Structure 1
Amino acid sequence: MAFPESVAAPLSCQRHLFEMPADVCYLDAAAWSPLPRVVREAGEAGILVKSRPWEHPRTAIPPWAERARRAAARLIGSAADEIAIVGAISHAMAVAARNLTLAPGGRLLRVADEFPSLRFAFDRLAERQGLVVEEVPRPPDGNWTEAVAAALARPGAAPLALATLTPLHWTDGGLIDLDRLAPLVHAAGAALVIDATQAVGAAPVDVARWRPDFLAFPTYKWALGPYGLAFLYAAPHRLDGAPLEENVGNRPPAAGARRYDRGELYDPVALFMAVTGLEQIGEWGVPAVSARLRGLTDRLADGVAGLGLAPMPSSLRAPHILGLRPRAGLPDDLVDRLQRDRVYVSARSGALRISPHVWADEDDIARCLAALSRACRGIT
């Protein structure tokens, strides 16, 4: 599986590191995470740098960019020189699309209901280069991996030119096993682009195993960092491409993926916060985080089954997100009902998406189940 069972030392609940009231049950990390206190404090330190620039030499900021690059690289198993610092996943994907030249008539394969950041730039690429876009429909049994594998091998299909995939479906945590699928893409001679937004920080990601051409992730979700900052991995054979924008920092002699860096890179607020969040995740270890979250979502899955809500089997879902799709559909006001009980989750494309992070504990799971029991009466 893409997310193997962890043998790391157990990680305890880290709620004490966050400014989260006892009566708040926040299970919406897949939307965006609250900041640990140390990340907020890092941001405040960055504000002081900009507020009092005469007290802080600007030459002290570039090393923070390199520290962020190294911390991001460690989370995905890459070299720091293979990491660019960009403004968003949409920025990263625009860079990737700009640097792919594919054979006309080939297929661009992706899953249905994909997040816009992984669609828009590649829709334009398909138009420019004459590709055929194929979307794998949502499988009735929830097994995205088998559905994508079947699409890759479909008899009579146009040659595969590009697959744009994620380690899990963003709407409900359905597993898309890249350990299995990435080799199939490579065997077809196609390019592979990965949006790891919903994985990095909460589940193992390894570019050495998956060998993508490009992979990107932001900091504002599972990596416990700020909005407006993301990282783009570029494979060694993709380090000579063209940036989306040109600035003093990414022109020659910029080395490696730095050629794709965004302008106005040296923002002390964003960099200080991103480094602090990334290094905290690295200190815990992603396997330990993943194992803890698997325990919490498994408890949720067991509990909601008793409410008549049928979650996907553990083998078909990522460790950190539980998606629920009642046969009768979600009531339009379900999320609002839960919020009245101070339980915070999301509804995405017909799924109730529940996504705990390291601040959550067994009491949060019990509160969520109790609120669901009240809110979901009559749903089957």
Structure 2
Amino acid sequence: MKRIVAGVLLCATTGMVHADVTVLDSDSIAAKVGHQVKAGEKRGVPLKLASPGPRSGEINLTDQSGLEYFINTNVTFSTTSSASGAASEASYVGPVAATTSAGGTTASTLNDAFDGYGALCLSFDGGTGACNSGGGPKSPVGVATYIMYNQNGAATSDCGGRQVIYNTQAINGIDVSRRVYVPTDDSFARWVNIFTNTTGAPVSFHAVASNNLGSDGNTVVVTSSSGDAIATGADNWVTTFQDYSGTTSSDPRLGHVLKGPGSSVGLASVNIADGENNPFWSYPLTLAPGQTGIIMTFVTGQPSKAAAASQAARLTALPATALTCLSTTNQGQLLNFQLGGNGGPAPTAVDLPSMSRLGAVLLIIGLALIPLYLRRRRNSSR
């Protein structure tokens, strides 16, 4: 009986290990499928630069829908919307069913989503954007100083090559680092901006997202989480697209996810409007000594305006795929999303290993046999 129980449990354990190896292998395969593109080049089509200057490298990651993001890595020149961690561009790798002005669809390889998206700057004197290393407007009067997160050396990656990790930059007592993640099982790009107060006193500042859309002056706000086409600080998400030229539009329809419902930190400013080529938004942060806080944002590209709105709304609820490759500790440091409430599911403390169906059956049989074995052993010892 002892040998039978041991054998059954061994088989069940083997089933668990085999299932885990399968998951790991799929991540490795995804990493191998990812590819590098020469600087300044994308499938033979020149990439547009938001600012003149050399390209310092990028990583190309494609999401489940076939939208390929070109993520800036070691940017070595001064820039705003195309700084370290920004997406210089996003294009579909093949034709999709793009909607037309008449309400139908046409097969089109939508491209030029961005000319720089998701760059980051900090202001410590009340500036709420737009990011400008030379200063910019500040309410009520004066000039705000914006410090770009940029020129931080080579980036690394984790999560099977799906997440780009950027070095820490010390900015006025705040250690700033970034991670950009693109999944294979969902349709979005995610920015995780990590801020740690390294001083002995509270520090207040604004974190500003800097962007340059491929839709340029033809940008149209479609809708928002409040149901209208006006972006305000109360909105959790906003969608935009490049206005139709004739009956078609050549750019992906975009959903910008800025925050979740019930979050502890909201928006200090938001500037997303019709005809706006450089939308931006900002967050007011105050960190206690030693405190780490995280601002997380998403963008999704879709073939239709309706799909962009649906996916943006879905992401504010933080489905499981939205938290992939984000540690439990980091999830607890989110400031513009609330976990475990209206903002999404509570993080799990332990990730259990996956198990094949056969392994589960054998484990149940093994557990059922243990009491029989113990009873037989007691009877034999009498």
| TM-score normalised by L of structure 1 | 0.25
Considering fraction of residues, name the structure with more helix: 1
| TM-score normalised by L of structure 2 | 0.25
Larger Rg: 2
